[in-house]
Structure formats: C-alpha cells, structure tokens
Amino acid sequence: MKHIPKAVLIGTIAVTTACSGSSSPSQPSPPGGGTSGGTTITITASGVVPKEIQVSPGSRVTFVNNDTRQHDMASDPHPDHSDCPEINSVGFLQPGRSGMTDNLVTVRTCGYHDHDQPFTANLQGRIVIR
Ligand SMILES: [Cu+2]
C-alpha cells in the first residue's frame, strides 16, 4: 500500500490590484484619414486618381475635387446615370470641395464619369464593390 500524501494546497491569495485607470494606451490616429485600401477618389487636373477603386459592400466613396475647375460626377451610363444611382449623390463639386456616394451595397462594378465632360476618358473610372 502506498501512502499517497494528501497534498494540501495553500492557495495564495492573489490580490489583484485594481486597474485605476492610469494605463490607457495612447493610440496615434493619423490626421486627415488616409485609410489603407482607401475609399477616396481624387479629381486632379489630369483626371481621377485612382481610376479604379475597390471597396467592400456598404462602403461610401468620397470624391475630392483637387482640380481648379468644377466637376459633376455621376454614374454611368451617360446621360441616364442609371447603373449605380448611389454615385449620383456626389454630383456637382466646386474646386476644393468633396462629396460622398450613398452606401454602395450591391456587389458589382460601377462606372462613373464627369457629366460636364462625359467623353473625357481620364475623368472616367470604376468603383468595384466586392
Ligand atoms: Cu452624364
């Protein structure tokens, strides 16, 4: 017969020091957005950048007019603008102004153009929702 010693575990009373709120990590927040992956299309004097952007369903895309002239962004096809009416919310943009699409909820590819210059290729682009 083996004697199995009865192990008596003396639990140490762990006194957990309550967190008294002095340990909030400072998270650097980049100013001015610039989210990776990006949902911003910039309109420059030489056209839209990027020409094609990919966003997740439900995203809104911001058009920023960095050109010195006005632009009027709208969904393809011109002049009906019926493919992705969410884009038509961007509309007319004075220089320096920005506008957002409505929520792009449908997985698809949306073409857009500048309604003032509907046949200017560098003012046409695509938003890929996937
Ligand atoms: Cu148009």
Distance 38 CA to ligand 1 centre (A): 25
pLDDT band at 1 (very low <50, low <70, confident <90, very high): low
* DSSP letters spanning 47-107: EEESSEEEE-TTB--EEEE-SSS-EEEEESSTTT--S-GGGGGTEEE-TT-EEE---B-SS
**Ligand 1 mean position, distance from CA 22 (Å):** 56
Residues 7-60: pLDDT tens digits? Answer: 544 444 444 444 444 444 554 444 444 344 589 999 999 999 999 999 999 999
User: Residue 75: which CATH number?
Assistant: 2.60.40.420
What is this structure's pTM?
A: 0.72
| Per-residue pLDDT, 80 | 98
Q: Calculate how far, in angstroms, residue 77's C-alpha sits from the geometric centre of ligand 1.
A: 7
Domain with 101 in it? 40-129
Residues around ligand 1, an ion, CB closer than 5 A: 74, 78-79, 115, 118
Place 79 in a pLDDT band, splitting at 50, 70 and 90.
Answer: very high
Cis, bond preceding 28 (omega within 30 deg of 0): no
Task: Specify the number of domains making up the chain.
Answer: 1
pLDDT at 38: 84
For residue 81, being part of any structural domain is answered with yes
